[in-house]
Amino acid sequence: MSTGAQPGRPRAAVAETDVVVTHEDIDRAHDRARVGAARMARGLRARAWLLWLLIGPGILVMLGENDGPSMLSYAATGATYGLGFFLPFVALTFAMAVIVQEMTVRLGAATHRGHAELIFERFGPFWGWFSMIDLGIGNFLTLITEFIAVRAGLGFFGIPPWAAILVALAILYSALLSHRYWTWERVTLVAAAFNLIFIPVALLTHPHWAAVGHAFGTWAPLPALDKTTVLLILSNIGATVTPWMLFFQQSATVDKGLTTKDIRFGRLDTFFGASLAAAAAIGVIIATAPLAGRISAGNFEAAQFAQALEPIVGHVGAALFALGMVEAGIVASITISTSSAYAFGEVARKPHSLNLRVGEGKPFYAVLGLCAAAAAGIVLIPGLPLVFVVLVVNVIAVLAMPPALVFLYLLVNDKEIMGDVKSPRWANLLAGTVVVLLTAAGVLYGISAVAPNALSWLGKL
């Protein structure tokens, strides 16, 4: 039964005296009934089934963030510096992502409200719309790079840009046809699993495992601290910790109907997703490490990376690399456009759920569809500098992250809405450390832009 306080719907949409049952309510109730039945059952098989029912948002957000720009950033890193500092550094960024995303799980499960909606309610319309506009701009810029990745990846197989873009849009819109969150989530998870295709590509390069172990054990060799290094540091951070992830996972947690009893499964979901995504990201760096010193990574696009790798990994390996870029762009375009639609619905007080039929959620589906179509159209403009756009978009994501984390920190420490799952001291300490690291990275980038000569002095410290 629905009384106006259900997940995915605007709080004031139904009067307290009304009782309305919607398609969204029925679908979510069905999902929760299966979860309840799994909780009542005993045995290892029942626990595994319960885990399968509850995982999803964490894996999706992590593998979704291994998007076209992210994988291209990792490829540029490997092709520029080879094996060394950036291998453990990327692993660290995923640990930071787990810390941040765990808070969104608790927040969504405790409040049954999306991130934008909570900012609107707790901090007022100004900050609500500010967060929405900030997210919308960042998401749109990122969507452009996702479709560029798809175009470039399919270009390896001789597919023209217009056809590549149509394929991406067709897959994105097809995922919405079920009008069912569960089905959408499972279909997208299957697609996201192909992100792991970069691991066999890395193995095909026959990496020097002693050098890999040395890099993780010593963080060496260290690159010189210059503008290129700083740009790649920020780009790699922006490849794993971005504002859209906060909005997406919290809203997906709500749309899935998770409660405070499910938080530990949400944490496991997030950790598992981060582990898979980190393995794929490190795989890209290892795969492109043999290109270090052979190419100018800043001038290479996704298809050209695959072409450069072909003499090393063969045509099959190069084709897998190109397909990985295509998968990364398509899955991220699905999750990021959905993140924008969730946030718009929350702030505008419109129905916002993937359990809605099109007629019931016209604004939600309109924002999702139009954002994707507009970004795809821009990608067809000839001459876009892919690598430059990718790195800049990732840097923008890092610079936008500290303010978003402040809102998240304040919300998860709000006893009134969090109750018993309010952030403990250890979680606040970890979150504070992440904020400091991201702020320091932003300051370092500012120094590199304003006073590049100061970087050499800092590198000697």
On the question of pLDDT at 385 being above 50, the answer is yes
Residue 118 has pLDDT above 70, yes or no: yes
Give me the pLDDT at residue 442, please.
Answer: 76
Confidence band for 151, pLDDT divided at 50, 70 and 90: confident
pLDDT at 16 over 50: no
| Per-position DSSP letters for 333-384, written without gaps between them | HHHHHHHHHHHHHHHHT----TTS-TTT-HHHHHHHHHHHHHHHHHHTSTT-
Q: What's the angle, vertex CA 225, arms to CA 451 and CA 455, rounded to 5?
A: 20
Unique residue bearing structure tokens 């507009």: 374
Backbone φ and ψ for 356, nearest 5 degrees, come out as -80, 145
Phi, then psi, of 206 in degrees rounded to 5: 50, 65
**Tokens 């190109």, residue located:** 322
- Confidence bin at 9 (pLDDT 50/70/90): very low
For residue 393, the model assigns a pLDDT of 75
Q: Is the pLDDT score of 58 beyond 90?
A: yes
Which residue ranges form the domains of the chain, and what is each CATH number? 66-414+422-456 (1.20.1740.10)
Lowest-confidence pick of 116-125, 183-192, 444-453: 444-453
Mean model confidence pLDDT for the chain: 83
Q: How far apart are CA 345 and CA 361, in angstroms?
A: 9
For residue range 200-259, what is the model confidence (pLDDT) as tens digits? 999 999 999 999 999 999 998 888 888 888 888 888 888 888 888 998 899 889 888 889
* Cβ-proximal residues to 234 (8 Å cutoff; 6+ apart), any chain: 394, 395, 398, 441, 442, 444, 445
Torsion of CA 114, 115, 121, 125, to 10 degrees: -120
At 130, the pLDDT band (50, 70, 90 cuts) reads confident
Q: Which of 13-17, 40-44, 256-260, 423-427 has the lowest mean pLDDT?
A: 13-17
192 and 64 Cβ atoms separated by less than 8 Å: yes
State the greatest distance between any 2 C-alpha atoms of the chain, in Å, as a whole number: 70
Residue 328 near residue 71 (C-beta atoms within 8 A)? yes
Residue 379 and residue 392 in contact, taking contact as beta carbons nearer than 8 Å? no
Please, which pLDDT band fits residue 8 given cuts at 50, 70 and 90? very low
| 377 pLDDT tier (thresholds 50, 70, 90) | confident
Place of tokens 């002095």: 457
Residue 25 pLDDT grade (very low, low, confident, very high; cuts 50, 70, 90): low
pLDDT band at 289 (very low <50, low <70, confident <90, very high): very high
- Between 351 and 85, the more confident residue is 85
CA angle 280, 286, 288 (to 5 degrees): 105
Tell me the pLDDT band of 106, cut-offs 50, 70 and 90: very high
Kindly report the backbone phi and psi dihedral angles of residue 448, in degrees, each rounded to the nearest multiple of 5, phi listed first: -65, -30
Read off the pLDDT of each residue in 122-133 and give the average, rounded to a whole number: 84
